[in-house]
Amino acid sequence: MKKIYLLTIIALIVTFFIGCGGGGKKGSTVITSKMGQIAPVVSFREVKQIKELQRSSSEEVKKMVKVDIIITGYNKEGLQFTPITASTEIDPTIAESKVRVLNVPIGKNHVVTATANFLNGSTATIKGICEEVFEAKISEVIVNQRTTVITNVALKKAEIEKKKLYEIKWEDIKHIGENVDKMYSKGIAYEDMDIDILVSYDDNIGKPGDIKIKSPQTEVVSGSTIQLDAEVYDKNGDLIDMSVEWSIDGDLGSIDQNGLFTAVKAGNGMIKASVEGISGHFNITVLAGEIEHFWVVPNVVTMRAGENQIFTVVARDKNGNSISGDISWSVIGDIGTIDETGNFIATKNGGGNIKAELKGKTGYSCVSVSGVEYLSALP
C-alpha cells in the first residue's frame, strides 16, 4: 500500500514539471491542458507563382498543391509551445481554401504559416496572425498576401521593441493593417512593400521624403516666364502641405519663392526645390528669343578682284543671347559671287553690298573692289 502511494506521489510530481515546461520560460516545449482550435483560411491566388502560371495558361495551375501548415506562438502563461504542424492539398487558384481545424494552446497572436509546394519545385509562403485562441472554441485565421505583410511587420515591430509577439496589442496590429492598405491603395503590390517603411510608418507621417516638381513645359523662351509647382511627399509617400525653397543650378534666369521662373540666358540648367534637406530637381532649357540685333561682319570691306572674303552675321535677342540658323546670302551689284557659307569672291571692279537674311531680319555689308568707291549701305 505504501509503495502504491509513493508511486502516485512521484507520478504527480513528474506530471507537474512536464506541464510547466521544466519550470521556466526557456523551454521550447510546453504542454498545456487548455486548448482551443484554429481554422486557417488560406489564399495563394495573389502570389507570384500563381500569377505567372495564369498568365502562361499553364495546365499546372489547375492542379492541386501540397500545403504545409505551421502554427507557432505562446500559451496563456507566456510559454512557447511546440509548433503545431499539418499538411493538406488545395486548389491554389480559388479565392479561399479552408484548412482542417487544428488543436492549439489558448493564447494571443499565434502565427499561422502556410507553404505551398508547386510541382515545378518552387514554393510560396504566406502568413497570418490569430488574434486570440479561446478554450474549446474555433478561431478562423485569414492567411494571404496582405496578412503576410502585416505579420512580418508585426514580428519586426516586436523584435525592435524587444517583445514577444503576444505582447503586441491587437489594436497596433490592426493599425499596421490600415497602413498596409494605404500603401496598397497607392498601387504598391504586397510583394513590393518595404517592411522597414511600414514599421516606421507612423513616425514618418509628415516628414518630407520626396519632392516632385511639375511644370507645363521643359523649354522656355528667353524673356518669358513659367509657373512651377512642387509637391512634397512624406516618407510614406503621402502628399503633405509644406513650402519649399526654390533655386537654380546654372545662370539661366531667376525664380521667386512662389516658383515663378523668368528665363534670361539661353542654355540648359536645373531648377531645384528643397525642404528639410530633401530636394527635387527639374531639368529645363532656355531658348533664345526673337532677333533684336542683327548685322553683317565685316561691315565695310575694300578688296581687289580675285580676292575672297568670308562674311558672317551677329544675331542676338533682347537679352543678348546668340541666335543661329540658315542664312541666305546674296550680292547687290555686279562685283562678284557669294556661296551659302558666306564666302564672297570679287570678280569685277566697282562698289556693291553683301546682303544677309535670317529669320525675317536683313543686314548689309558695303564692299569696294579695286579701290572703286563702294555703294552706300542700304537701310
For CA atoms 22, 28, 29, 30, give the dihedral sign.
Answer: positive
Dist. CA 286–CA 218, nearest whole Å: 9
Mean pLDDT of 127-139: 95
Q: What is the chain's mean pLDDT, rounded?
A: 87
Mean pLDDT of 196-204: 90
Tell whether the model's pLDDT for residue 148 goes beyond 90.
Answer: yes
Residue 60 has a pLDDT of 56
Burial status of residue 345 (CB atoms within 10 A of its CB: 0-12, 13-18, 19 or more): middle
Tell whether the model's pLDDT for residue 151 goes beyond 70.
Answer: yes
Tell whether the model's pLDDT for residue 231 goes beyond 50.
Answer: yes
Residue 8 has a pLDDT of 38
Better pLDDT: 10 or 295: 295
- Is residue 334 very low, low, confident or very high in pLDDT (cuts 50, 70, 90)? very high
Tell whether the model's pLDDT for residue 199 goes beyond 80.
Answer: yes
Please report, rounded to a whole number, the percentage of residues in the chain having pLDDT higher than 90.
72
> What angle do helix axes 170-185 and 145-160 make, rounded to 10 degrees?
130
Instruction: Find where cell 556661296 sits.
Output: 339
Residue 55 has a pLDDT of 58
Residue 17 has a pLDDT of 37
Q: Find the angle CA(149)-CA(155)-CA(157) to the nearest 5 degrees.
A: 100
Tell whether the model's pLDDT for residue 288 goes beyond 50.
Answer: yes
- Is residue 13 very low, low, confident or very high in pLDDT (cuts 50, 70, 90)? very low
pTM for this model (two decimals): 0.59
Tell whether the model's pLDDT for residue 11 goes beyond 80.
Answer: no
Shortest CA distance to 340 belongs to which of 355, 327, 325? 327
- Cβ atoms of 252 and 263 within 8 Å: the answer is yes
- Cβ atoms of 75 and 81 within 8 Å: the answer is yes
Domains and CATH numbers, the chain: 27-202 (2.60.40.2990), 208-287 (2.60.40.10), 293-369 (2.60.40.10)
Dist. CA 323–CA 325, nearest whole Å: 7
- Cβ atoms of 130 and 112 within 8 Å: the answer is yes
- Residue 378 Cα distances to 84, 331, 335, 353, 366, angstroms: 102, 12, 16, 8, 9
- Is residue 344 very low, low, confident or very high in pLDDT (cuts 50, 70, 90)? very high
Query: For 70-100, how does the pLDDT look when each residue is reduced to its tens digit (9 = 90+)?
Result: 999 999 999 999 999 999 998 877 778 888 8
Dist. CA 379–CA 371, nearest whole Å: 23
Amino acid identity of residue 156, one-letter, is K
Query: For 31-61, how does the pLDDT look when each residue is reduced to its tens digit (9 = 90+)?
Result: 445 899 999 999 988 787 676 665 555 555 5
Tell whether the model's pLDDT for residue 348 goes beyond 90.
Answer: yes
Burial status of residue 188 (CB atoms within 10 A of its CB: 0-12, 13-18, 19 or more): middle
Residue 92 has a pLDDT of 78
Residue 26 has a pLDDT of 35
Residue 339 has a pLDDT of 97
Dist. CA 353–CA 62, nearest whole Å: 87
Residue 51 has a pLDDT of 64
User: Phi/psi of residue 110, each to 5°?
Assistant: -65, 145
Mean pLDDT of 124-142: 95
- Residue 337 Cα distances to 254, 354, 366, angstroms: 47, 9, 14
Any residues with CB less than 8 A from the CB of 132 and at least 6 apart, and which? Answer: 106, 107, 108, 109, 139, 170
Mean pLDDT of 317-342: 96
Better pLDDT: 99 or 356: 356
